[in-house]
């Protein structure tokens, strides 16, 4: 007689647990793997450069990724070997910019990252705020093609500046549980809809940009918000 047993597990939970044990080199490669143009990160053999050589990426003294600015590549060459004539790994065809297009899975951002910027790259994807690094200070995803809902309550409490404007985010917008350290909250030019409550905003919030959505609501002492245009 044979006995069979099954272990039910949550694959999402496993993925999150594995993320913390994965090398940052692997996480970074998975983060950019679906970009339309990855030449900037690879050598002439198609192998990824070590992340210590990725411009726009800064590391801590312990070798962990601290900040990522993919927008950096829009304006600058990825690798400058003008002072190193012996660099045989450089592929002239691979040097240049990251061209817009493709998609990105934000869950692979290393948990040590405090600043993440990838604007103006026409990237598709979703924003699961619960998977963002919990020490994140600055998140800029402006002018891409991110879609789906946006759980503002799931943002890391450490966030100071958030810009997800000019995307295709939709659904309701809960502003009652924003991070207390938040200074800038820009969700303008999206497809959010419904009523919002503005009575419990943090006193540290300097800029709240909601225009070009389909929102309605009235902060205490303010005139009604009409269509999210003001």
Q: Give per-residue pLDDT as tens, 203-223.
A: 899 999 999 999 987 655 454
In this predicted structure, the answer to whether residue 47 has a pLDDT above a threshold of 90 is yes
Task: Map out the domains of the chain as residue ranges.
Answer: 11-100, 126-230
Residue with the two structure tokens 């190193």? 84
Give me the mean pLDDT over the 122-151 stretch.
98
pLDDT for the residue numbered 72 = 60
Which has the minimum average pLDDT: 28-37, 179-188, 195-204? 195-204
Indicate the fold that domain 126-230 takes in CATH: 3.80.10
Alpha helices in the chain (DSSP H): 11-21, 24-32
In this predicted structure, the answer to whether residue 32 has a pLDDT above a threshold of 90 is yes
Q: Chain-wide mean pLDDT for the chain?
A: 83
In this predicted structure, the answer to whether residue 73 has a pLDDT above a threshold of 90 is no
In this predicted structure, the answer to whether residue 128 has a pLDDT above a threshold of 70 is yes
What pTM was computed for the model? 0.80
Give me the mean pLDDT over the 11-28 stretch.
75
Q: Are 164 and 141 in contact (CB under 8 A)?
A: yes
Q: What are phi and psi of 73, to 5 degrees?
A: -70, -15
Sign of CA dihedral 22, 94, 45, 60: negative
């Amino acid at each position: 007689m044979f006995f069979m047993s099954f272990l039910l597990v949550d694959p999402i939970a496993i993925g999150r647990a594995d993320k913390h044990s994965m090398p940052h080199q692997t996480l970074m490669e998975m983060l950019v793997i679906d970009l339309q143009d990855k030449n900037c990160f690879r050598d002439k053999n198609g192998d990824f450069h070590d992340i210590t050589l990725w411009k726009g990426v800064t590391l801590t003294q312990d070798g962990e990724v601290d900040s990522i600015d993919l927008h950096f590549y829009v304006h600058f060459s990825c690798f400058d070997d003008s002072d190193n004539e012996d660099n045989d790994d450089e592929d002239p065809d691979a040097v240049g910019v990251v061209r817009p297009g493709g998609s990105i899975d934000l869950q692979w951002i290393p948990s040590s990252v405090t600043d993440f910027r990838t604007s103006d790259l026409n990237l598709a994807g979703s924003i699961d705020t619960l998977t963002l690094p919990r020490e994140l200070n600055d998140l800029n995803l402006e002018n891409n093609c991110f879609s789906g809902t946006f759980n503002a309550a799931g943002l890391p409490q450490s966030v100071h500046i958030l810009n997800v404007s000019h995307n295709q985010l939709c659904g309701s917008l809960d502003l009652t549980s924003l991070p207390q350290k938040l200074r800038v909250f820009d969700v303008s030019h999206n497809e959010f809809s419904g009523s919002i409550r503005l009575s419990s905003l943090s006193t540290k919030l300097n800029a709240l940009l909601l225009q070009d959505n389909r929102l309605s609501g009235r902060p205490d002492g303010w005139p009604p918000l009409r269509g999210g245009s003001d």
